[in-house]
Amino acid sequence: MQERRCRIPQPIREDGAGATDPGPRDIMRDIENPDMLVPPATDAGLLPNLKFSFSDTSMVLKMGGWSREITARELPVATTLAGVNMRLTPGGVREVHWHIASEWSYMLSGSARITAVDQCGRNFIADIGPGDLWYFPPRFPHSLQGLKDGCEFLLLFDDGNFSDLNTLSLSDLFAHYPKDVLAANFCVPVDAFNYLPSGQVYIYQGTVPGPLEYEAVQSPYGLVPQSFKHRLLAQEPITTPGGSVRIADTSNFPVAKTTAAALVEIKPGAMREIHWHPNNDEFQYYIAGQGRMTVFAENGRARTFNYRAGDVGYVPVGYVHYVQNTGPETLWFLEAFKSDRFEGVSLNQMMAVTPPELIASNLHVGPKFLNALQDEELPVILCPWFS
C-alpha cells in the first residue's frame, strides 16, 4: 500500500504547498504531466493553453488512411499555423485538391508520391521518404499517395483557422457541376460521367503506383522552376554537445516562402537553450521522447508544460522559452514559423555581447557567472544563426 502511494503523484510542492488529490482524477495524465500537476514555484500569472495532443483530436477514418488536425478551434492561441497528422496506406490516396493556405509537410515514416501543377501547367511529381519535406504554394492543385509501406506525415498550413477538411477537391468539383457542362468542357458524351463519386472523396484506397521513371507525366510546359521537395533529415546538421539542429527556410528551400522550420534533436539531459523568436509565433510538433518548456511573457507571467511524442506546443512571438529533455530517450521535435526565414535570439549570446558591468549591476551576479557567458562549451543547443 505504501509502495503504491509513492507511485501516484500528488499536487504537493517540495515546500509543502498544495494538498493530495483524492479524485476524481486521471492519474495517467498526471504522471505524464509532472510540471503541470506541480508547477515550478516560479510559474505565475495567466497564460493561455499552449499544448494540445493529437490524441485528443477528432479522427477521420477512411479506406486508405486517416487524418486528424489541430487548428485554432482546438488550440485557440495557434493562429499562424494549423497542423494535420495523416496516414496513408500502401496505395492510399489523398485526392487531387487545392486550398487557400500553403502546405508545408514533413514525412515522419514511410514514403509517398506527390504530384502538383502550377499556374503555368508546369508539374512536379516526386517520391518523398522519411525526413523529407514538401511544400505546395497556395492554390496549386496537388495529391499524395502512399507507396509500398504506406506513410505518416505532418502537414502545416499557414493559417491557424484552416481545416484540411475544407478544401476544393477534384471529386467535389465533378459532383457539383451539371453533367452537360462537364460533357461540353471535355467534348465527351454525358454518359462518360455515369459513375462519378457523389461528393468529396478526401482519401481513398488505390493501388501502389509503379516506379517514378515509368509513371511520371512529362508536362509540355516543363517542370516547376523551384523544387517542391527538400531532404531535411539528409541535410548536414549543426551539432553541439547537447544535440543537433537542421534548418529549412528560403535560404535552402526557396519555394517555401511562408513556412520556415527547424528539426531539433536534444540528447538525454540536454536542453534547447533559453531563447525567443522576433519574427513570428512558434508551432511545435513533438516527434519522439519527452520534454518540458516554460514560456515567459510580459508582467512576470510564466507557465510550464510537459510534452511528449504526438503533442503540439505553441509559443507566441517574442515569448521566451527553452525545451528540456526530461526523458531517457533522445527528444526530437519540429519548430515551425509562418515566415520565410528562421530567426531567433539566444539569451546566452545576447548577454555575452552586453557590457558585463551592466549585467552584474542588473542581476547582482559575480565574475563566475560573467565568465560562464563567454564559455563556448555550454551544454546547450546554440542558436545556429551566430555560428
Active site residues: 335
> What is the closest distance, in whole angstroms, from the C-beta atom of residue 15 to Mn ion in the complex?
31
* CB nearer to Mn ion: pick between 103 and 311: 103
* CB nearer to Mn ion: pick between 165 and 184: 165
> What is the closest distance, in whole angstroms, from the C-beta atom of residue 178 to Mn ion in the complex?
27
* CB nearer to Mn ion: pick between 142 and 230: 142
The Cα angle at residue 46 between residues 42 and 49, in degrees rounded to 5: 105
> What is the closest distance, in whole angstroms, from the C-beta atom of residue 138 to Mn ion in the complex?
10
> What is the closest distance, in whole angstroms, from the C-beta atom of residue 142 to Mn ion in the complex?
6
3-state SS, residue 174: helix
Q: Which stretch binds Mn ion (CB under 5 A): 98-106, 225-233, 260-268, 324-332?
A: 98-106
For Mn ion, how many residues bind (rule: CB under 5 A)? 2
**Is 158 one of the binding residues for Mn ion (CB under 5 A)?**
no
**210 grid coordinates:** 509503379
Handedness of CA 54, 166, 228, 157 (dihedral sign): negative
* CB nearer to Mn ion: pick between 347 and 365: 347
* CB nearer to Mn ion: pick between 163 and 330: 163
Q: Do 301 and 360 meet the contact criterion of CB atoms below 8 Å apart?
A: no
Identify the CA nearest to 284 among candidates 250, 256, 319, 255.
Answer: 319
Q: Do 71 and 161 meet the contact criterion of CB atoms below 8 Å apart?
A: yes
3-state helix, strand, coil in the chain (%, to 5): 20, 40, 45
DSSP at 377: T
**117 grid coordinates:** 501543377
* CB nearer to Mn ion: pick between 103 and 265: 103
Q: Which residues pair with 381 in a beta bridge?
A: 272
3-state SS, residue 348: helix
Q: What track of x and - describes contact with Mn ion for positions 282 through 321 (by CB under 5 A)?
A: x---------------------------------------
* CB nearer to Mn ion: pick between 230 and 272: 272
Handedness of CA 379, 381, 383, 386 (dihedral sign): positive
DSSP at 170: H
Q: Which stretch binds Mn ion (CB under 5 A): 97-105, 193-201, 242-250, 292-300?
A: 97-105
> What is the closest distance, in whole angstroms, from the C-beta atom of residue 321 to Mn ion in the complex?
6
Residue found under cell 499536487: 11
- CA distance linking residue 244 with residue 82, whole number of Å: 25
* CB nearer to Mn ion: pick between 100 and 190: 100
In sequence order, the 6+-apart residues with CB closer than 8 A to the CB of 184 are none
Q: Do 296 and 286 meet the contact criterion of CB atoms below 8 Å apart?
A: no
- CA distance linking residue 56 with residue 155, whole number of Å: 17
> What is the closest distance, in whole angstroms, from the C-beta atom of residue 337 to Mn ion in the complex?
9
Which position among 69, 74, 95, 103 is part of the footprint of Mn ion (CB under 5 A)?
Answer: 103
> What is the closest distance, in whole angstroms, from the C-beta atom of residue 18 to Mn ion in the complex?
30
CA 99 to chain centre: 19
Q: Which stretch binds Mn ion (CB under 5 A): 59-67, 77-85, 96-104, 233-241?
A: 96-104
Q: What track of x and - describes contact with Mn ion for positions 258 through 287 (by CB under 5 A)?
A: ------------------------x-----
Q: How many residues does the chain have?
A: 387
Q: Which residues pair with 146 in a beta bridge?
A: 112
**51 grid coordinates:** 499544448
- CA distance linking residue 72 with residue 76, whole number of Å: 4
> What is the closest distance, in whole angstroms, from the C-beta atom of residue 223 to Mn ion in the complex?
20
3-state SS, residue 37: helix
> Which positions lie near Mn ion, rule CB under 5 A?
103, 282
